[in-house]
Homo-oligomer: A and B are copies of this chain.
Amino acid sequence: MSNQKINRFILTENEMPTAWYNVRADMPEQHDPLLDPASGKPATVDMLSGIFARELAEQELTTKRYIDIPGPVLDYYKKYRPSPVIRAYDLERALDTPAKIYFKYEGNNTSGSHKLNSAVAQAYYNKIEGINHITTETGAGQWGTALAMACAYFDIDLTVFMVKISAMQKPYRKAVMETYGAKVHPSPSDTTKVGRGMLAKSPDDGGSLGTAISEAVELSVSTENCRYCLGSVLNQVVLHQSIIGEEAYLQMQKAGDYPDYVIGCAGGGSNLGGLVASFMRDKLTGKANPVCIAVEPAACPSMTRGRYAYDFCDVGHVTPLAKMYTTGSAFKPASIHAGGLRFHGMSPILSKLYHDGYLAARSVFQKDVFDAAVLFARTEAILPAPESAHAIRTAIDIALECKESGEAKTILFGLTGNGSFDLTAYMSYLDGEMVNFAPSDEDIEQSLSRLPDMSVYEK
């Protein structure tokens, strides 16, 4: 416990990156384009502008390498960024591993996670285009909170569809969104056609991100001067989240270290895409060869057990079609406590990187995740969000592999959020009531059998 070693690698504001990095610029092949489900034709900026603010529609399609972060977005970032990279000395000691474990911590803001990075950007671009109402969905509530904060700051109305099971598990998440002025509907809700349809079929439906997305898109396209925002999956989100990787890259330099492993949890891919981007740049340009790992819940294994195919991002099939790893938009993930990872698909960028062998993937079980979360909380003094704890689990697994092999590998993982709104989950774990979930092969096959029929577009 010497005082000479450095625990937290920080950046001053002046050292903070001022541009987002677009990993697409360095990918040898691009992912297949988003398709308009009506025509089967590749989505254009004009088409996407009906859903998103125009600048965001352009970011969705661009392969430009760097995009300057607008001044007002940078100013907001500076309210809570740069975020620290922290060396987990006490966790290393508890594991008795020769591995060096670093984590990039995004939980030090009121939204509780990295989601704020894209929320501020999206709200800003909507604001300057005169949009005065935004709709969105939220799972665990982190994205909804982040967007509520951003919309309050830029004075935009916000309607949030919150996955019902999460709204029940996390009542205070709704309250914090309302404190920031948002209107919150548990989803499925009776305020949209899609929601009413779901409720008619199954009144006790706990909801899913896929359904909530449908409801939010439906409201946005039927409301004047209103646009939709999404907290994950999209290229624009991966772009905005690159601030995580760009900072972490500089911080690892300050640490005088380079990660052999870069690990992030993956629901739709927003945090993972942002964290790995800067290290993937090295990998794609041949400068270094870190192992980048997506960690998903065994209950929702898009990459590890899904198919690489065109699918809808939502249950109601109102979004464009994306080529991605998916368990099918009809897939109903079990009610695990990591609500933010209960999504059937995966970012097209990350899906392509995984498909082409640049990205690895693992899945982990809920109880193992909470074992890791509690060990981390007690050694490193941060209570992690269940989503983030998926990355902790895999970081610990690799550190234990290092203990076996005697290798002093360097591990960097993304700690995307804090668990202050997840105490119901921790209580369930402490009470011994938590169970593991994984879909059967039949469950997945059945859902995949309902993937959209792409042959209809070939005529």
Using a CB–CB cutoff of 8 Å, the interface residues on chain A facing chain B are 1-3, 6-8, 10, 12-13, 18, 71-72, 74-76, 78-80, 86, 89-90, 108-110, 112, 116, 149, 152-153, 171-172, 175-176, 178-181, 374, 377-383, 418, 420-421, 423-424, 426-427, 430
Contacts and interface: CB of A to CB of B under 8 A. Distances in A.
A381 to B, nearest CB: 5
Contact of A381 (B6, B90, B110, B430): B110
14 contacts: A3-B75, A8-B13, A10-B12, A76-B381, A80-B381, A152-B377, A152-B378, A153-B378, A153-B381, A172-B421, A175-B426, A176-B423, A179-B374, A420-B421
B110 A179 contact: no
A79 B7 contact: yes
B71 A2 contact: yes
A49 B140 CA distance: 47
- 10 closest A-B pairs (Cβ-Cβ)? A175-B423, A172-B423, A7-B78, A420-B420, A152-B378, A108-B108, A110-B383, A79-B381, A179-B426, A1-B75
Contacts of A13: 6-8
Nearest to A384: B110
Nearest to A150: B381
A71 B426 contact: no
Contacts of A74: 3
A71 B3 contact: yes
B378 A71 contact: no
A18 B179 CA distance: 39
Q: How many copies does the complex hold?
A: 2
A415 B175 CA distance: 21
Contacts of A75: 1, 3, 7, 89
A420 to B, nearest CB: 4
Contacts of A1: 71-72, 75
Contacts of A18: 3
B180 A109 contact: no
A127 B345 CA distance: 49
A76 B7 CA distance: 9
A76 B90 CA distance: 10
Q: Which of A2, A108, A380 has the most CB of B within 10 A?
A: A108
Given A383-B110, A420-B420, A430-B178, A10 B10 contact: yes
Most chain B C-beta atoms within 10 Å of own C-beta, residue among A116, A175, A181, A421: A175
A179 B80 contact: no
A115 to B, nearest CB: 13
Given A108-B108, A112-B420, A427-B175, A380 B6 contact: no
Nearest to A145: B383
A254 to B, nearest CB: 10
Contacts of A423: 171-172, 175-176, 179
A7 B74 CA distance: 11
Nearest to A381: B79
B418 A176 contact: no
A175 B90 CA distance: 23
Contacts of A378: 149, 152-153, 180-181
Contacts of A80: 381
Contacts of A110: 377, 381-383, 418, 420
Contacts of A76: 381
A172 B195 CA distance: 31
